[in-house]
Structure 1
Amino acid sequence: MRVVIARCSARYSGRLNAHLPSATRAIMVKADGSVLLHSDGGSYKPLNWMSPPCTLRVEMADADAVDGGDGAPVARWIVQHDKTDDRLEIELFEIFADTEHELGTDPGLVKDGVEAHLQELLAEQVALLGVGHTLVRREFPTAIGPVDILARDATGRAVAVEIKRRGDIDGVEQLTRYLELLNRDPLLSPVVGVFAAQEIKPQARVLAEDRGIRCLVLDYEAMRGMDDGSSRLF
């Protein structure tokens, strides 16, 4: 990655036209060819950018013509998209830093508390579904996809569990379709449903309860053993 700190202006043309007046910014050139201009605010989003595939061409100013003012940039970057007419032109008037770093391959973001983690923890702590519940298996197959958990309650009745980080109406609809299929199996029927999530939206809860589906809110930190009750006041 190349990072340049410079006083610069920029103009974007193509599908839209936009202009950035002269100011000090960070310009990032990534290994994939993308070029991004950042200010010192505005969180993570760049002010303007060019996505790959694109080509960067650098034109250096004649040293005799540079006077250090805004009227004479020391360099001009022309970033042309390879497949469209989109173009980003950056004029650099004063360069404060210009560094390059080899970052290597990034392993990507590893999310904590994703549905796979919740499924694994709930399978290990199946008693959270209720006293006497036992695990049949995770990822129980159906014709339209696997049910996250199939269990049996204390009476031996089959229980299908759909797990989400945030439970919305779509998740309830998904579990409803699973239940319709599972209840056609005479070896499983009757099958009841449990909609489990770290957070369940009110509309989803109303729909689930209307369809006879029980809702279960999962405390991820407690399931991981991270919730120390001795450290809480209440």
Structure 2
Amino acid sequence: MRLVIARCSVDYVGRLKAHLPLAIRLLLIKADGSVLVHSDGGSYKPLNWMSPPATVRRTTPAETDLEEGVQEQWIVQSAKADDRLIINIYEQLHDSSHDLGVDPGLIKDGVEADLQRLLAEQIHTLGDGFTLIRREYFTAIGPVDILARDATGGTVAVELKRRGDIDGVEQLTRYLELLNRDPLLAPVRGVFAAQQIKPQARVLAVDRGIECLTLDYDAMRGVDDTSTRLF
């Protein structure tokens, strides 16, 4: 990756036109061919960019006519369309290159698979006397996250989400309709479990006779002692 801090102006020419007036900005040239123009604000989002694949052609005043004061011009050409990012550099304040190597990618913690594993291991979270039938109980329309039995021997289907919304309730409703056709499982009731459940989803679930359960992920993985909390 090459990092250049420069006083520059930037023009995007192609399907649309955009102009960034003269200012000090960070230019990122990545190994994949992408070029991004950043300011010191706006969080992670660049002011403008060219997605890969793209090529960068650099010219100087000695090679072609440029605007007065321009030390170097970059023309970033997209390989997919006739779009160009034209960067006129008036003053270069920093230039460095770094080999970042192969990135292992983002490893997410607290995804639905983690919640499913923990809840299966701690099935008592659903209530006293609960036992696990199996995780990923397959049906004709997809897998139910957890199938369990309650203290009375009744079948319980659990749908897990990080953030529970109406779509999740609808999904569990379809599973329940199908599972209740199986005489070996029926009657089957539903539990909608999530770290956060939206109010609209909770109202819909209760209206359909589905229990809602808010999961404390930190407590389930043993990094938060709920007994020491004041609230």
Please identify runs of 4+ aligned residues in structure 1 that moved more than 3 A. Answer: none
TM-score under structure 1 length normalisation: 0.94
Return the alpha-carbon distance in structure 2 between the equivalents of residues 230 and 181 of structure 1: 40
Partner of 1:44: 44
Does residue 210 of structure 1 match 2:210?
no
Matching residue of 2:117 = 120
Answering whether residue 183 of structure 2 is matched by residue 186 of structure 1, we say: yes
* Structure 1 residues 134-154: Cα deviation after superposition (integer angstroms, max 9, x where no partner): 001100100111100000001
Q: Which amino acid aligns with 1:98?
A: D
In 2, Cα distance between equivalents of 1:94 and 1:180 = 67
Are positions 1:33 and 2:33 aligned together?
yes
1:166 alignment counterpart: 163
Cross-structure match for 1:55: 55
**2:216 maps to what in 1?**
219
Shift of 1:95: 0.8
Q: After superposition, where does 1:90-109 map in structure 2 within 5 Å?
A: 90-109=87-106
Residue in 1 that maps onto 2:194: 197
| C-alpha displacement of 1:231 | 4.2
Change in Cα spacing, 1:51 to 1:71, as seen in structure 2 (3 Å) is same
Structure-2 change in CA distance of 1:120 and 1:41 (3 Å) = same
Maintained 8 Å contact 2:9/2:87: yes
How big is each residue's C-alpha offset from its partner over 1:26-57, in whole Å with a ceiling of 9 and x where there is no partner? 10011111100001111111011011122111
**1:75 equivalenced with 2:66 (yes/no):** no
Structure 2 residue aligned with 1:86, among 83, 86, 102?
83
Post-superposition offset of 1:82? 1.2
> What SS class does the counterpart of residue 146 from structure 1 fall into?
strand
Give, as a single letter, the amino acid of the residue that structure 2 aligns with 1:99. Answer: S
CA distance in 2, matches of 1:229, 1:142: 36
Q: Residue 14 of structure 2 aligns with which residue? A: 14
Whole-Å separation in 1 of the counterparts to 2:99 and 2:24: 24
3-state secondary structure, aligned to 2:139: coil
Deviation sequence 1:171-210 (CA, Å, 0-9, x none): 0000011111111111111111000000100110111111
Output the amino acid matched with 1:24: I
Counterpart Cα distance in 1 of 2:12 and 2:212: 51
Q: Give the TM-score normalised by the residue count of structure 2.
A: 0.95
> Secondary structure of 2:218's match?
helix
In structure 2, C-alpha distance between the alignment counterparts of 1:100 and 1:227, rounded to whole Å: 42
Asked if the contact 2:3–2:28 (Cα under 8 Å) also holds between the matched residues in 1, the reply is: yes
Given that 2:219 and 2:226 are in contact with CA atoms closer than 8 Å, whether structure 1 keeps it comes out as no
The letter for the 1-side match of 2:212 is: C
Mean Cα displacement is larger for which, 53-62 or 132-141? Answer: 53-62
Matches within 5 A, 1:124-163: 124-163=121-160
* Structure 2 residue runs without a partner (length 5+): none
Question: Displacement, 1:230?
Answer: 5.6
What is the rounded CA distance, in whole Å, between the counterparts of 2:228 and 2:2 in structure 1? Answer: 47
